[in-house]
Amino acid sequence: MGLLDIWSQTNKSLPSTGIFKGLTNVAIFSIGILFILQSFGISITPLITALGVGGLAVSLALKDTLSDLFGGINILLSKTMQEGDYVQLDNGYQGYVENVGWRYTTIRERANNIISIPNSVLSGSISKNFSSMDSAFRVPIQIGVSYDSDLDHVEKVALEVANEIYEELDCVSKSYKPVIRFREFADSSINFFIYFQGKNFGDHNTILNSYIKKLHKKFKEEKIDIPFPIRTLIHKNEIKD
């Protein structure tokens, strides 16, 4: 089956997953046995008929297993997810697809835990694939500044730091320059977003860490205030006679 692995790496129409290799093994051995029987002059027609009748009984007994099997085949053919993709499911689970097997698809969480999900459940669930087609994704970072701030100066400083991160980090997509957008008048600050684009899922952690540290230091140097939340409480004492 080494040739199958080599072929699957050069031809992306079907990945070399457990279910695909298993089905291929069964098909090759079955055809080989039938050819051997035929070469010895044994009629294979009654055998094929018996297998058809027996297959019907087996399919009824293994309804759930076959449901998972065809669910796995559906996942492979539809290419909703493939080995190595980072996916998030509607039940909250997320991680890297390790293998699509006969009954289960295994997903490895970022904490290195392995989740096994029945293929019939997975093929019928709503999923988000962070790696299919273009794996690049937007990284928004929200910042708030004081109402006394010069917003033109804030924009200039924030973009300067963003461009430094853009040049320094390899995980930042070079096809998308950082941009800034002021968004709202909040309770104690004027909020804005700075937008990066990461190359792959997980890059946002590195981008967030580097940008927040650099921007915090730069804002201190430029005397730009990031305010604490402020709430004014008015307490009235009622005087009773």
120 and 160 housed in the same domain: no
105 and 194 housed in the same domain: no
112 and 10 housed in the same domain: yes
Say how many Å lie between the first and final Cα of the chain, rounded.
95
pLDDT of res. 54: 55
- 12 lies in a domain? yes
User: Which of the two residues, 107 and 73, has the higher pLDDT score?
Assistant: 107
71 and 93 housed in the same domain: yes
Please state whether the predicted TM-score (pTM) of the whole model is above 0.75. no
124 and 141 housed in the same domain: no
107 and 9 housed in the same domain: yes
Interacting residues of 91 by C-beta distance below 8 A, sequence separation 6+: 125
**223 is written with which tokens?**
């005397």
151 and 191 housed in the same domain: yes
23 and 103 housed in the same domain: yes
115 and 156 housed in the same domain: no
Q: What DSSP designation does 172 have?
A: B
How far is 14 from 5, CA to CA, in rounded Å? Answer: 11
The per-residue pLDDT for range 81-108, each reduced to its tens digit, is 888 888 888 888 888 898 888 788 899 9
**What's phi and psi for 30, nearest 5 deg?**
-65, -45
- CATH classification of the domain holding 187: 3.30.70.100
Number of structural domains in the chain: 2
- 217 lies in a domain? yes
Residue 181 burial by CB count (10 A; 0-12/13-18/19+): exposed, middle or buried?
exposed
Using the 3D structure, point to which of 129, 149, 172 is the last residue of a domain.
Answer: 129
How far is 130 from 202, CA to CA, in rounded Å? Answer: 10
**What's phi and psi for 174, nearest 5 deg?**
-85, -5
pLDDT of res. 16: 47
Structural domain including 63 reads 2-129
The per-residue pLDDT for range 7-31, each reduced to its tens digit, is 445 555 445 455 556 656 666 666 6
> In which region does residue 178 sit, left (phi positive, over 0), alpha (psi from -120 to 50) or beta (all else)?
beta
The per-residue pLDDT for range 26-67, each reduced to its tens digit, is 666 666 666 666 666 666 666 566 566 555 555 555 567 777
